[in-house]
Amino acid sequence: MGRALIDIAEPAQPAQALTRDTTIRSIRATIVDAPTRRRHKLSNTEVTHQGYVLVRVLLDNGVTGIGEASTLGGPRWAEESVESIKAAVMTYLAPALLGQPALAFEANALRMSKAATRNFAAKAAIESALLDAAGKTLGLSASALLGGAVRARMEVIWALASGDSGQELEEAKEKLHRREHRQFKIKFGFNRPQADLKRLQALRAGLGDDVPLIVDINQGWSEAECIRFMPALEELDVALVEQPVSALQLEAMARVAARTSIPLLIDEAAFTKEEIARVATMACGSVYSLKLVKSGGLFEMKRAAAVAAAHGLALYGGCLLESSIGAAAHLAAFSTLPTLEWGSEHFGPRILVEDLVTNPIRFEEFEICVPDGPGLGVEIDEDRLRAFARRD
């Protein structure tokens, strides 16, 4: 009995015809560099082009599924880069899956885990493509394959990250006027704290007291700076502060959380379920940011949400500037969660000069809509892919 629980060489099979029809025939990966509408700054880098790895899975029935892995300026936000993601997909993960049934999601995730440690963005892109292909084959949405949606749309937050308070204020006012976004995340950490606080003061004065503002410090402050400057954030009625100190300094983050009345959003400090349990037990924050690049797959991200919620953490739908492909995968999982208290941050499709799909995700009345077509519900724009694909 013990062997049956751990041996994944012979997974339970669907009906023979369907299994044969949905066998994985090929997996391809392409690096894409898509230009953004403005500079997007973080504490340790800035981007004018967003890097993706587009993964295509072809089944024996001729159906192709698409998935996407996203990074920010190379291996700075996490250890993966578009170059390493493509290498992991083509050299280690794809060979482990070729000839396997696409519908064996859990067994395929285990195969990928045996083939490569971590490499979460690469694994998530493949699993997204498998769900897309399976959904197109069965005529079901990815949300249906993940258990069924409980919401069709959710509040969507916009990030202000140019560093120019005048430009950011006009940008935010335009989003409000067009009824696109009414909550804003301000990126800190690339200036001195005093300069960032002046930006925030200008934004609060210009937008008024009723507009929720979130501050993302991107690990940019020390504990001492948090002690000194968090009271100013409290005075400006900041709704949430994301990852103020280094992800390695869990004790410091817990002390910061204990000193402030602002909820702390845990992001880089916890990727795996075990890490989520640890930071929650240590009281490092009270909200957790869900991202495929941290979980390594849609099913695993749902498990991460369950662990976080079981430890009393509220849930926030995080992003890494995904196009409509990556955003659709996230939204498919987010739509099935029992709770998503802080909504979603998937504004990525709107920061691109041109999206990568023919049918971009819809934004309406301050919310983002979950695609309702089969699979992920989006279709790749081949012309834009050719224009933005990196030439090896």
**What whole-number distance in Å separates Cα of residue 209 and Cα of residue 207?**
7
Structure-token pair, residue 109: 């995730």
The yes-or-no answer on residue 223 being catalytic is: no
Q: Which H or E run includes 36?
A: strand 24-41
CA 315 to chain CA centroid, Å, is 13
Q: How many CB atoms lie within 10 A of CB 47?
A: 21
Taking the mean position of all CA atoms in its chain, how far away is CA 287?
15
Name the active-site residue from 123, 187, 291, 294: 187
Tell me the H-state helices in 262-381.
273-281, 292-295, 298-310, 324-334, 348-351
How far lies 101's CA from each of 91, 114, 136, 296, in Å?
Answer: 20, 17, 15, 19
Local structure of residue 91 (DSSP, 8 states):
I
Q: Which amino acid is at 135?
A: G
Residue 187 catalytic?
A: yes
Choose, from 155, 168, 322, 345, the residue flagged as catalytic.
345
- What is the DSSP pairing of strand 264-266 with strand 46-59? unpaired
Around Cβ 22, how many Cβ atoms within 10 Å? 23
Distance of CA 71 to the CA centre of its chain: 10
Q: Please report, for residues 147, 172, 305, 312, the alpha-carbon distance to residue 338 in angstroms, rounded to integers and kept in the order given.
A: 11, 30, 10, 14
Residues with active-site annotation = 187, 345
